[in-house]
Every structure is written in structure tokens, then in C-alpha cells.
Structure 1
Amino acid sequence: MKTQAKTIQIFLPGGDPQGIRVAEITTRIVQLIEVPRALLPEFLKMPESNQVALYFLVGEAEDGAERRVYIGQTGDLPARLATHNKEKAFWTRALVLISRTNSLTQTHALFLEWYSLQRAKQAARYDLSENRNGGSKPHTPAPLEADCLEIFETGQTLLATLGYPVFEPVAKPSEAGNPAEFFHCKRSGIDGKGLYTPEGFVVLKGSLGHQADAPSITGTWAGHLRQKLRDSGVVQVKGGNIEFLKDHLFASPSTAAVALLGRTANGWVEWKSAEGKTLDALKRQGVGGTD
């Protein structure tokens, strides 16, 4: 189904684009407030902090690692965030989902917390180890559950808009009539498959790469990247190879190629279509050209 166009408004209470940001879809009652950890005291002075809320604590990723998120809900946001500020070291920003009409109840919040955890696990984009378990589905009357699903869809869009695609799989399903265009990186013992996306390049689950690093990348960012992929469980050693255990997003085609090949590489020429055309020929050289 084709995605519908939306209008999103972002308000900067302090006038600083790196400060507190309030995002909303103009036709809906849900707001998402992004709070840098350093500005938590300022947020707690805002009236919006005194509502029932679903919240996300996000920690930035290091090279090759996944971002971390903690998902929670509360009827006492000031107390809960103050506790997390004292006890949880990993997070740098809080994303707080509330209703502009102050109409979220604890029942809404409990369902949204449970549902968000299930969807975040399915997307497998963020490290959820801060959440000990996903719990069980709370009893929610059908009309209220329908409200929650609409709230969730709005929150999902706002999170992604602000740069936190917690619920978006890195390799999205193809739209009808627009099949995915796969690219391959193949050498002796190498069998990589991936997708070029608006966010970067995704190496798909099951791709096989070299286990050993070339001497030239030892001690460099490339060597550290490959070690982090192993340490974080994105890849595992299989025979003389590494195997990707999940779809993984890289910032560029070249970084993705390095992760597979274990050496410096130009991903624009290493990744090729099933017909043998390079990613460069298909995605860079034709831009702005005429038929």
C-alpha cells in the first residue's frame, strides 16, 4: 500500500534546533517531544511533563554497533525520568509521546509500551537489552486498542522523522509494483546480498564474508568495525567465513563492502546487480541524465 503524504510541524520551545523539539502531525492529537539529557530540568518545568506518557530513552551508537533504546510508560513522568537520569548511563536523549488533549490513560500507556516492545523487536534495528522483558499483552478493550494502534502509527512516524526509526526495519518490504533491487558482492568464499536505501546500504541476513582481516586494516577503523560486528552479534564465524545473522544498515556501500571483504573496498563498484551492472552505474552515473 502506498504511503500517504503527511504534514509534520516541529516546534522549538527554546529556539535551538539541537535543543528540545516538539513534533506533531497537524491533523492528530499526539505529540512527540525530544529532550536532550542535558535539558531534562528544562523539560520537567514544561506542563507537558505532567501527563501519562510513553517514552523512549535512546543512546547513540558507536561504529558498527546498534543504537540502544529503553521503552517505558508512566503516569509520573518527572519522577520516572529523574530516576532514569540517576540510574541509567547509556542514554543521551528522551523521546516522550503524549496527547495534546491530555487524554492518554494508564491503560493506553500499558498497551502502547507492550506493543512498542514487540514492534521494536521485530524491526531489530535497536538494542533492547535495557528492557529486561517484553511482558504480556495487557487486557485492553477493543475500542481502546484501536485508539492505541492509531497513536502508535503516529508515534512511529514522528520518531522516524526526528531521526529515531525504532520501528522501521532496515530492509523494508517492497511496495507492490516496485520490487526490491538487490545487489551482490561475490568473490571466492564471499556471497553478499544487499539493498541500496535512502539511509545507506543494507547487507542482508545470510550474507557471507571473509573471516580474516587483511593486514592493511589491522588497527584501523575498518578493523574496529568488523570486530564490533562480531562482538555485537551482528555476524558470527561460520567455517572460514563470517555470516550475517540479521539485516544490517551501513552508512555507505563502501563500508558495507569492507565489512564483507575484510579489506579496503569501493562499494560503488563491488556491489553489482544480477545483470552485472555496478551500483555506481545504476545509482550515480544516471542521476540527472536524459533517456
Structure 2
Amino acid sequence: MPSATIKLFLIYGDSKRLRTAELSNWSGKAVGAPRTELDELLAREELLQSGVYILTGYNPASGAPLAYIGEAEVLKDRLKAHKSKEFWVQATVFISKDENLTKSHIRYLEGRLIEEAKSAARYDLDNGQASGSRLPESDREDMEIFLSKIQQLLPVLGSELLTPVVNRTAEPSENHEQLVCAIKGIEAHGEQTSSGFVIFKGSRAVLADRPSAAIQHPFVVTLRQKLVAEGVLVEDGSSYLFTKDTEFTSPSSAAAVVHGGGANGLIAWKNAQGQTLKGLGA
């Protein structure tokens, strides 16, 4: 993404409360608020406009991140109707300061946002299938630019909904060198990210926990059980298989899942030349 200047206004001086965000040379604007300040959000003049909105929270049954993406010609009316949805804790709306988003525009944006959220696969979606909208070529290009600005602003507003777990490239950059963690004849591949560490789809993990793990590293046992329950780790022969790119908070937590017990990620992860993360200066 290109560099950008972001204007973030904290209405109450707290980044987790009601706030607005704008980008230089962009006609759009974002307004975000926690559910506890929904009335204050609804009172803002931006909510009288058309736009798209994102509700984020957690599935009450599983605790997994859950989101709902929608569009409305009058955002205030639509968000009022979503008081009945219990899962969400944050609402973020996007409007055009020029007030030039038509019904076709916002339906297109809704459809594309759902596509991008599904592709990123960080959240489950509470949506049905969005049909989107067909647009003339010039309008479609304008909305793709609008979408890119939403993708740029959302992390600043505290949501990784549209951020891919990892952007793989054919030639890894110096800052994103692919690494391997090998144990008992199996391998896991991954890389460091700005949020922690990602293990790539197709990697392997040992099938059995170490005997000492339940006492010395119970978090590893719990985490592996969670990944199995979610279908991220599936039994495949004599090892577990990662079914998707999976992000961890640190190299050590990632290595521990692969090892089935405690592990020092700075030592366990190595590059193609055999250098450890510690040796690489991580």
C-alpha cells in the first residue's frame, strides 16, 4: 500500500472509544465506536448518510472472532436494527464526505468487503451471501480505490478483519525470510510477521503431546486442542497437518504447537542456511 497521512480524532481522548479517521487526499471517512457508545455514534451526522458498516465481536458459543458486514442508505436506521445482534462489541462505518455513494456503490462495496474478509479468514462472518452490484467500469475502479482505503484504515481502528494472515510472495523479502521448524522427521514452514509468527498451510506438527506438556506447558496442550477443534490441525498419517496459514503471538508459541510441548522459537526456527532466528538477530 502507498504511504499515507492519517488524521485520527479521539472524541473523548481514548483510542478505544468514539473516534473518526480520515486519510489525506481521500473523500471517505470512518467513524468507529464500542457498543457501549452506540447512542453517541447514532447521534453523529455521518450516520444520516449512505455507507457501509462492520460489526465485530465474538461468537458467544465458541469464542471465535465474528463479524457482520452491511450497507445502508441511512446508516443510523440500519445500526439501530442491529441492537438485537448480541455478538458485536465494535461498530465501524465508512461514508463519503462528498455524499456521493449511491445504492449501487454501497452494495458493491459490501460484496467486496465480504469477499476480502472471507479471503483473510481471520473472522467468521454472520452474513449470508451478498450479491454485490454491477457497476460501470469507471465506478468500479473508484470503489476499488475506496475499498483499498478501508483496508488501510481498519487496522488503525483496531480491526484486522481484512488483513491476510500472511502475504506470500514468490521471492521472500529480507524482512520476511521463510523459516523451518523440524522435529522427528516432520517440518513446519513459516515466517515472522508484525503481529507474531505465521505457520503456513501444509506444515506438519507432531501428533502426540510430550508427556511433560500437561504439567510444564499446559497452554500448549490447550492451544493444540483448540486448533484441532477448529479444524486447523487435522490428523494425517503419523502427524498433524495445518489446513490453513495460522498466526501465533510469538515464534515460541508456534514452535511449541509443532513440537507438542515447550520450545524456544528463537532456536527452533531456522532459515535455509541453518541460521536460527536468534542468530538472525530476531
Task: Give your verdict on TM over 0.5.
Answer: yes
Partner of 1:191: 187
% identical equivalent positions? 36
- Tell me whether 1:277 sits opposite 2:275 in the alignment: yes
CA–CA distance in structure 2, aligned partners of residues 132 and 253 of structure 1:
36
Matched residue, 1:170: 165
Per-residue CA distance 1:188-230 (angstroms, 9 max, x = gap): 1431000111111000000010122224333832222111111
- C-alpha distance in structure 2 between counterparts of 1:55 and 1:122, whole Å: 18
The answer to whether the 8 A contact 1:19-1:35 is kept is yes
- Alpha-carbon distance change, 176 to 8 in structure 1, aligned in 2, over 3 angstroms: farther
Match of 2:138 in 1: 143
- Alpha carbons 1:71, 1:113 under 8 Å: kept: yes
Would you say 1:14 and 2:9 are equivalent positions?
A: no
Query: 1:27 pairs with 19, 25, 28, which one?
Result: 25
Match of 2:149 among 154, 165, 174: 154
Counterpart amino acid of residue 155 in structure 1: I
Structure 1: tracts of 5 or more residues without a match? 285-291
Q: Does the Cα contact within 8 Å between 2:233 and 2:242 map onto a contact in 1?
A: yes
Structure 1 pair 61/173, CA: closer, same or farther in 2 (3 Å)?
farther
Kept after mapping to 1: 8 A contact 2:18/2:32: yes
Gaps of 5+ in 2: none
Task: Give the counterpart of 1:100 among 97, 101, 114.
Answer: 97
1:202 maps to which residue?
198
CA displacement, residues 214-252 of structure 1 (integer Å, 9 cap, x when unaligned): 243338322221111112222211123211111111110
Deviation per CA, 1:178-197: give whole Å up to 9, x if none. Answer: 36411100011431000111
Distance 1:84 1:218, change over 3 A: farther
Contact 1:225 / 1:259 at 8 angstroms: preserved in 2?
yes
Seen in structure 2, the aligned counterparts of structure 1 residues 283 and 67 have a Cα distance that, compared at 3 Å, is farther
AA aligned to 2:182 is: K
Indicate the larger mover: 249-258 or 179-188: 179-188
Please tell me whether the aligned partners of residues 105 and 133 of structure 2 are also in contact (alpha carbons under 8 angstroms): no
Tell me, in whole angstroms, the C-alpha distance in 2 between the residues paired with 1:116 and 1:246: 21
CA distance in 2, matches of 1:121, 1:186: 31
CA distance in 1, matches of 2:179, 2:21: 36
User: In structure 2, what is the equivalent of residue 90 of structure 1?
Assistant: 87
Query: Would you say how many aligned residue pairs link Structure 1 and Structure 2?
Result: 278
